[in-house]
Amino acid sequence: MVRIRLFETEAGKLMEAGKLPGFLHLYVGQEAVAAGVMAALRDDDQITSTHRGHGHAVAKGVGFREMYAELYGRGTGACLGRGGSMHINDLTRGMLGANGIVGAGVPIAVGAAFAARYKGENSVAVTFFGDGATNIGAFHEGANMAAILGLPVVFVCENNGYAEFTPQSGHMLLTDVADRAAAYGMPSEIVDGMDAVAVHRAATEAVARARAGEGPMMIEAKTYRYFDHQGVKGLRHPYRSDEEVAEWKTRDPIDLIEARAVADGTATRAELDEVWQRTRDEIAEAVAYAEASPLPDPADLLLNVYSG
């Protein structure tokens, strides 16, 4: 969670300074979901992400160097500088990609799970999506197919309360998105998305079920993003109050788990502080690497471009 928080905070500063091209959707506040789920996965398990995908990539093990270089649009980036913030992937880490299309990662994860089943592998696919994505046809088609075929997929709804600027109450009548899982005969669980331990326990159960051949499961993690939909300052559209943001911050996921760790003797304050400093040093080195990296070579423009 510290790695995600500091990566995103620095990325936000770089964007505000005009150093990064394109859009930036920051994951700050939602760290417990990515960390809790990814800690339940194996290296060969695969994930699909969203436009707000940096946290998932970091938690799955994608390197800081490759990620910052991609944000800078450099040739050493995770996607050779071609994808930018919303399209980071690393197939060697099982990160099948972030996606700028709402809900588009769901059928990709279902396909990955089908492929694993077909090849006799024991891996699991996890797809992350927001509350708004459950209104998209791709979600319903993917959920239905995964349930009918009993595929090893875990559906993780990161419900941060807003589909861009629209509150959940403005785009669905349901209070709990997880209720939609029942329509496909799929079990579900609602968890506190600010509590990494709670997320991890639910994910561990869902992943174990999927790996044992018991089919898909849906987890709804009720969480919150601290920054606007895009960037740090966003469009200054007054769709939520400062008081609401401040109230959610009183249950910051990192503060909660650090307080628990100190209280039960899992870690000392000094050990936790060392994690923060070590991560800051790693980020500084990665940003320097990205800034020193070359731009993509125009001669490689058609590399990995295919037509049907």
pLDDT, one tens digit per residue, over 148-167 is: 999 999 999 999 999 999 99
**Token code pair at residue 207:** 């992943």
pLDDT score, position 188? 98
Between helices 253-263 and 196-211, what is the axis angle to 10°? 90
CA-based nearest residue to 191, from 202, 180, 182, 207: 202
Q: Domain count of the chain?
A: 1
CATH number at residue 257: 3.40.50.970
Kindly indicate the confidence band of residue 241, based on its pLDDT and cuts at 50, 70 and 90. Answer: very high
Give a yes or no: residue 18 inside a domain. Answer: no
Can you give the residue range of the structural domain that contains 231? 1-9+24-296
pLDDT score, position 105? 97
Residues contacting 26, CB < 8 A, separation 6+ = 8, 11, 12, 52, 54, 225, 226, 227, 231, 232
Termini Cα distance of the chain? 41
Residue 234 has pLDDT above 80, yes or no: no
Give a yes or no: residue 301 inside a domain. Answer: no
Please tell me the pTM assigned to this model.
0.95
Give a yes or no: residue 49 inside a domain. Answer: yes
CA-based nearest residue to 153, from 49, 52, 46, 59: 46
**265: phi > 0 → left, psi -120 to 50 → alpha, else beta; which?**
left
Place of tokens 């859009």: 23
- Spatial contact of 7 and 54, defined as CB atoms under 8 Å apart: yes
pLDDT score, position 143? 98
Give a yes or no: residue 245 inside a domain. Answer: yes
Kindly indicate the confidence band of residue 307, based on its pLDDT and cuts at 50, 70 and 90. Answer: confident
- Condensed to tens digits (0 to 9), the pLDDT of residues 263-305 reads 999 999 999 999 999 999 999 999 999 999 999 999 988 888 8
Q: No. of H helices and E strands in the chain?
A: 10, 7
Kindly indicate the confidence band of residue 55, based on its pLDDT and cuts at 50, 70 and 90. Answer: very high
Give a yes or no: residue 173 inside a domain. Answer: yes
Give a yes or no: residue 39 inside a domain. Answer: yes
Residue 184 has pLDDT above 80, yes or no: yes
Give a yes or no: residue 119 inside a domain. Answer: yes
Give a yes or no: residue 46 inside a domain. Answer: yes
